[in-house]
Amino acid sequence: MAVTPESLHQRVIFKVLLLMVSGAGILYFLINIQRGLVGLAWVELAMSIASLWLWRNVDALKALRLWSFLYLIPFFSIILFALSDPRISYGMFVWVLLIPIVSYLLLGLWRGFAMACLFMTLAAIVYIWRFHSNPEVINTVVLANVMVCAAALWAFSHIYESSRERSQRILLKLASIDALTGLYNRLRLTEIFNRERQQAEVQRQPLSLLLIDLDYFKKINDHYGHDTGDQVLVAVASHIQRNIRRRDSAFRLGGEEFCILLPGSGREEAHVVADVLRTGLAEQHPLVAGLPVTPTLSAGVATLGDDGKDFVHLYSMADQRLYLAKHSGRNRVVSQGQALQGDSVAGENASSPVLQATL
């Protein structure tokens, strides 16, 4: 399971809660034994022991949200069970204020909202049932204070979690998107490949990887400047996005190198996609307004199974074929052990085809 900032955040909070509950459980076990609340005392001790066990093992838990959900149900239920005892004073109802805070922190925005709704409603029912005949507790001032305080904590918890999740989504997007082209960056490649590989294996579908490199890109930068080079990269990224399916994933790996994952596409289909990108790019003239820049690309294709079972082997094979395409004349696609022959021979000239018209 991938470790995300969100899972780390929730794991730390869960560990703090477990320690707090284990300590409080032992304390209240001793207090309630002395007060004669034997049943409640043993329930609290059992919760304390369970909390200590979870605390020792929390770092190894995979389904953290599920474990949090399964833990909070008995935890909140014990709070309500204790508060329903006539021998417990109404001051213990302050524990109810933990419900929305802990629910949001451990379960996220909407799961936390649902959990808080359920147990806060039950807590209100228990409160009214316990004290409906006690005018000192059930009066306008007391009820107003309790309701306003509970509503404020609930609202702050909801707003905090909503803002935190929104900020995290923005940060994750910024961390995984190439700022220049808007494509995924190298950081997301392995993660998305592993996801697509699992689906391909389950559905018994092919999966191919394309590595693409622009030919003579350094000469574009040297002759026209890096600003123009950046415009070329943006245009190439746009060209790639227009010519792949919604299910495909495109990446800029750095410099002038791109990668495309093609789920459901075997070697032949991937070669066709790469060649469509190649020929379409060569026909864009001028690519950058006002400048006769016509870059070409070379590509290497690798397919899951035939060329490797994991990302490292698949990437290595595609890289070798990209290298072969470069050293076989450029402006071509290689999807097997040798360069495929066809009409992609424009790159065989010794001079750069990008700059022939202007140099």
**CATH code, domain carrying 336:** 3.30.70.270
Is 358 within the bounds of a domain?
no
Enclosing H/E stretch for 211: strand 207-214
Give yes or no: residues 209 and 327 share one domain: yes
6 or 213: which leads in pLDDT: 213
Is 124 within the bounds of a domain?
yes
Is 359 within the bounds of a domain?
no
> Final residue of a domain: which of 115, 144, 176?
176
Cβ-proximal residues to 338 (8 Å cutoff; 6+ apart), any chain: 324
Is 251 within the bounds of a domain?
yes
Give yes or no: residues 162 and 236 share one domain: no
pLDDT of residue 340: 40
* CA gap 64, 241 in Å, rounded: 36
Q: Name residue 262's beta-bridge partners.
A: 208
Is 355 within the bounds of a domain?
no
Give yes or no: residues 63 and 195 share one domain: no
Res. 291: pLDDT tops 80: no
pLDDT band with cut points at 50, 70 and 90 for residue 358: very low
Give yes or no: residues 172 and 193 share one domain: no
CB atoms within 10 A of CB 120: 20
Q: Name residue 339's beta-bridge partners.
A: none
> Final residue of a domain: which of 155, 176, 197?
176
Give yes or no: residues 108 and 143 share one domain: yes
321 and 334 Cβ atoms separated by less than 8 Å: yes
Give yes or no: residues 171 and 190 share one domain: no
* CA gap 226, 137 in Å, rounded: 74
Res. 352: pLDDT tops 50: no
Give yes or no: residues 335 and 310 share one domain: yes
3-class SS at 263? strand
Is 172 within the bounds of a domain?
yes
Q: Which domain holds residue 117?
A: 5-176
Is 334 within the bounds of a domain?
yes
pLDDT of residue 3: 53
Res. 99: pLDDT tops 80: yes
**Percentage of the chain exceeding pLDDT 90:** 57
pLDDT of residue 71: 95
Strands 297-303 and 333-334: parallel
* CA gap 335, 271 in Å, rounded: 6
307 and 317 Cβ atoms separated by less than 8 Å: yes
Question: In this predicted model, what pLDDT tens digit does every residue of 11-24 receive, in sequence order?
Answer: 899 999 999 999 99
- Which DSSP state fits 285? S
Is 132 within the bounds of a domain?
yes
> Final residue of a domain: which of 176, 196, 223?
176
Give yes or no: residues 155 and 205 share one domain: no
pLDDT band with cut points at 50, 70 and 90 for residue 194: very high
Res. 210: pLDDT tops 80: yes
Residue for token digits 């079972």?
Answer: 309
Radius of gyration of the chain, Cα coordinates, nearest whole angstrom: 31
Question: In this predicted model, what pLDDT tens digit does every residue of 135-170 receive, in sequence order?
Answer: 877 777 878 888 898 889 899 999 988 998 888 888
Give yes or no: residues 171 and 231 share one domain: no
Report DSSP letters for 65-101, one per residue.
HHHHHHHHHHHHHHHHHHHTSTTS-GGGGGGGGHHHH
Domain count, the chain: 2
pLDDT of residue 356: 36
Give yes or no: residues 96 and 31 share one domain: yes
The alpha-helical segments, DSSP class H, found in 84-216 are 98-107, 109-131, 140-176, 186-203
Tokens representing 328 are 């076989």
Give yes or no: residues 43 and 110 share one domain: yes
Give yes or no: residues 73 and 28 share one domain: yes
Which of 103-112, 124-133, 234-243, 324-333 is predicted with the least confidence, judged by mean pLDDT? 124-133
